[in-house]
Amino acid sequence: MHRTFETTTERHQRTLDGQWEFLTDPGDEGYDGDYHESFPAEEADRLSVPSSWNAHREYADYVGPAWYRRTFETRTEDSLLFTFHGVARDATVYLDGEEVASHEGAYTPFDALARDLDAGEHELVVRADNTRREATLPHDDVDWFPHGGIHREVVVETVPDVYVRDLAVDYDIYGDEATVEAAVTLHNLDPRPAEPDLTVSVGEASVTEPVEVDGMDAATATLALDIEDVERWTPDDPTLYDVEARLDGERADDREGGAFTDDLRDRIGFRTVSTSGRDILVNGEPVAIAGVNRHEDHPEWGSAQPLRVQERDLELIRRAGCNAVRCSHYPNHPRFLDLCDERGVLVIEEIPMWGVDESTMVSTQERAQRTLMEMVERDRHHPSVFAWSLSNECANDESTVVDGTRKLKWAADGVDGSRLITVASNTDFEGGTDGTFEFCDFLSVNAYWGWYREGDWSEFLDGIEADYGEKPLVVTEFGAGAVPGDRTHEGRKWSESYQADLLADCVDLFRERESVAGFTVWQFCDTLTNPDSAMTRPRTRNNKGVLDEYRRPKEAYRVLRERLADD
């Protein structure tokens, strides 16, 4: 499943995992509502969902539109809610020949509701397109591979006529007491009004109130409850609470078939995040961030990693002595964040605004805003996520970019005021002044002294402190490329030895400096890069992993472990 726990007990929930018909469409022939006419079945291949088509040898290099098709059966007439947890990258969905959803962006979910779908066989067709352009998010020149396809789960749920559309939980915590506010949105698919009882529970505590929702309408009710003896979520003791919104009701006119029940579940952890001077605080205590950057990439699985790969990655991150992950450079699979919640790993989550300049800022602003909202709404309950990162290495010395990023900050604050905001910047490294720092809660700085540039890290940090010293600073990227197995006595570039020495020096320096609240090494493991960069990236990979692409350790992993792990 797409989470590590059940998100409903009332709904019949199934995934449409498995083999779908698959056909690439390099000429973008289109679809006229009859799949077999448009794409003769005998030409179709069979491809597993979820997966990246680029993780299949035949389609390893395919970039462009492609079609997926499958059928499924329903036994009774029901309303079905289809949730696509990630289609890379732009998607259009057709149910029985009719377009029911379209979505831009590979890393956030979208859904489609089919009201009163007849019993019988149905056809689902999905067009996915991973072509990157100047105005897509990410754009065409980013440093990671353009995995394509239905790379996250497709979940189908049977929902009653009145169902819980959304559950948004917010809380304030004082000592060991918390006041919780749960905003629950109900959707009534029936013309008759409904007055169900809504119960919100958080752990053992619960509150029930009658709520009203008009026919064919939606309504949001906010229920409050107090929790005593709260056990906080901390990185060392990551206590989680189940939260649930449950509906029980009868139709007001009491016609036959009027009873309904529904529930939607999630988890929260009670904790605060804040800053004080140059420190990042969790529950009021300073934490030293020691983490890695992680792409969702694997030679066998591409961007669609099974649970065990996600678990193992976190085990290896923990084993290195790290307590944090930067999800570079996009919202990660929701189950990965569940695992971070369970293991007390702190997360910086980012949207794929990577290396955007003035003109791409204008063309991507709307997409960025939508993706940000989708990320915050999806992940607002994860206690592990302590910061939203609005962008990575954009032209933050240009006013258009700064103004656009400020708008993103306002949008994030509007939905979730409980996390820190940051922007990963290389502006100073490039010799400019960063206009976004002013509205960030902490500074995220990417710099590659000792790799791309010769220069002195201490001097660079002195400069940053002088210019922006009143806020916490996290060095979110630093590192060196190392081709696995290349070890040299001379410590030449591209060798494991060079990378290990550089990381050792950096980690020692960052841990000594009071101004540095933490760091995230670039990067966890070697990852496939943009095929256009093949001539500057040996093995067409970004080789700055402390592990290779199969997660085998390089010298640098040992160096990290020696410095950060207790055992």
d(CA 5, CA 262): 17
d(CA 341, CA 388): 16
Give me the least distance between CB of 541 and ligand ADA, in Å please.
10
Written as one string, the DSSP assignment of 316-361 is HHHHTT--EEEETTSPPPHHHHHHHHHHT-EEEEE-S-BS--HHHH
522 vs 557, which CB is nearer to ligand ADA? 522
**Residue with structure tokens 């979208």?**
110
Q: What are the angstrom distances between the C-alpha of 467 and each of 155, 310, 458, 471, 518?
A: 49, 39, 14, 10, 18
190 vs 477, which CB is nearer to ligand ADA? 477
The residue ranges of DSSP E strands in 250-311, in sequence order, are 260-268, 273-276, 279-282, 285-286, 289-293
The phi, psi pair for 395, rounded to 5°, reads -80, 75
130 vs 158, which CB is nearer to ligand ADA? 130
How many other CB atoms are there within 10 angstroms of residue 227's CB atom?
Answer: 19
| Nearest Cα residue to 395 out of 348, 443, 438, 430 | 430
Give me the least distance between CB of 501 and ligand ADA, in Å please.
18
According to DSSP, residue 283 is labeled T
169 vs 482, which CB is nearer to ligand ADA? 482
Q: What are the angstrom distances between the C-alpha of 225 and each of 54, 105, 182?
A: 48, 36, 8
143 vs 341, which CB is nearer to ligand ADA? 143
Say if CB 223 and CB 179 are below 8 A apart.
no
The residue sitting closest to ligand ADA, measured at its beta carbon, is 143
* Pairing, β 279-282 against β 285-286: antiparallel
CA 324-329-331 angle, 5° bins? 80
CA 295-296-302 angle, 5° bins? 130
380 vs 544, which CB is nearer to ligand ADA? 544
**Residue with structure tokens 């990320």?**
375
Give me the least distance between CB of 79 and ligand ADA, in Å please.
42
5 vs 452, which CB is nearer to ligand ADA? 452
Give me the least distance between CB of 561 and ligand ADA, in Å please.
22
d(CA 506, CA 502): 6
Give me the least distance between CB of 534 and ligand ADA, in Å please.
14
How many other CB atoms are there within 10 angstroms of residue 258's CB atom?
Answer: 15
CA 144-149-155 angle, 5° bins? 120
Give me the least distance between CB of 537 and ligand ADA, in Å please.
8
d(CA 11, CA 156): 10
- DSSP 3-state assignment of 529? coil
Give me the least distance between CB of 392 and ligand ADA, in Å please.
5
Give me the least distance between CB of 149 and ligand ADA, in Å please.
22
393 vs 496, which CB is nearer to ligand ADA? 393
Q: Which two tokens stand for residue 464?
A: 């940053």
83 vs 371, which CB is nearer to ligand ADA? 371
Give me the least distance between CB of 422 and ligand ADA, in Å please.
14
478 vs 557, which CB is nearer to ligand ADA? 478
Give me the least distance between CB of 49 and ligand ADA, in Å please.
28
Identify the helix (H) or strand (E) that includes residue 185. strand 177-188
Give me the least distance between CB of 212 and ligand ADA, in Å please.
50
Written as one string, the DSSP assignment of 188-225 is E-SSS-B--EEEEEETTEEEEEE--B-TT-EEEEEEEE
Give me the least distance between CB of 264 and ligand ADA, in Å please.
35
Q: What does the binding site for ligand ADA look like in residue numbers (CB under 6 A)?
A: 143, 392-393, 446, 477, 522, 542, 544
The number of C-alpha atoms within 13 Å of 287 and in the hemisphere containing its C-beta is 22
190 vs 434, which CB is nearer to ligand ADA? 434
110 vs 522, which CB is nearer to ligand ADA? 522
Give me the least distance between CB of 417 and ligand ADA, in Å please.
27
154 vs 390, which CB is nearer to ligand ADA? 390
